[in-house]
Amino acid sequence: MNYQIQKFIDPDQIKAKVCEMADQISKDYEGKEILLVGLLKGSVMFVADLARAIDSTKVDVCFDFMTVQSYGNKTTSGEVLIVKDLDEPVAGRHVLIVEDIIDTAKTLYSVKQLFATRNPASFKIATLLDKPERRVKDVKVDYVGFEIPDKFIVGYGIDYAQKYRQLPYIGLVEFTDGE
């Protein structure tokens, strides 16, 4: 299939948005320690930048990573396959899930259910990108960077067939008919 990638959100816009989100997180968690839980692999760039933008004089930041696969069909919604679990314990801690993009929200719905069994002190979700038009599951998202239309996105950690994660900008994949 032929396609081209159009620049959609440039690095300066991403940086400004991540700083804005980090400022809010620094206020909301002042005096506390948070456990940032990055969902691999897409959230890697976002976790790295968000963690560095959180005010270390206000909030202690720990991070950990998890790889999950949502089964994602109607009959098994709510089930999640843990490909890589956390190394850190969760009980009694302030967990902030860091996600790259929310689409149907089936993944986060399952992750939320999973964490509910692990007794964190609090549980919140931050996502850089949100496609509200595609929502299937109702999940409260506490920090949203950009709301975007129902388009296929790559870059800044997000892939198309495992490629383009390294792009410093967020691009739209435009599929073209072709030879």
Residue 42 touches Mg ion, criterion: CB under 5 A? yes
CA distances 7 to 120, 144, 147, 153, Å, are 39, 20, 16, 10
Q: Which does 105 bind (CB under 5 to 8 A by kind): ligand IMP, Mg ion, none?
A: ligand IMP
Nearest 5 degrees, angle CA 162-CA 165-CA 167? 140
Catalytic residues: 103
DSSP 168: S
Strand pairing class (33-39; 60-70): parallel
Residue 100 touches ligand IMP, criterion: CB under 6 A? yes
Task: Confirm if 168 and 13 have CB atoms less than 8 A apart.
Answer: no
Q: In whole angstroms, how close is the CB of 131 to Mg ion at the nearest point?
A: 12
Number of residues that bind Mg ion (CB under 5 A): 3
Number of residues that bind ligand IMP (CB under 6 A): 14
Site for ligand IMP in 57-76 (CB under 6 A): 70
Q: Is 26 helix (H, G, I), strand (E, B) or coil?
A: helix
**Beta partners for 75?**
none
* Contact track, ligand IMP, 118-157, x by CB under 6 A: ----------------------------------xx----
73 contact partners, CB below 8 Å, separation of at least 6: none
* Contact track, ligand IMP, 11-50, x by CB under 6 A: -------------------------------x--------
> Whose CB is nearest to Mg ion?
42
Contact footprint for ligand IMP (CB under 6 A):
42, 70, 99-107, 152-153, 158
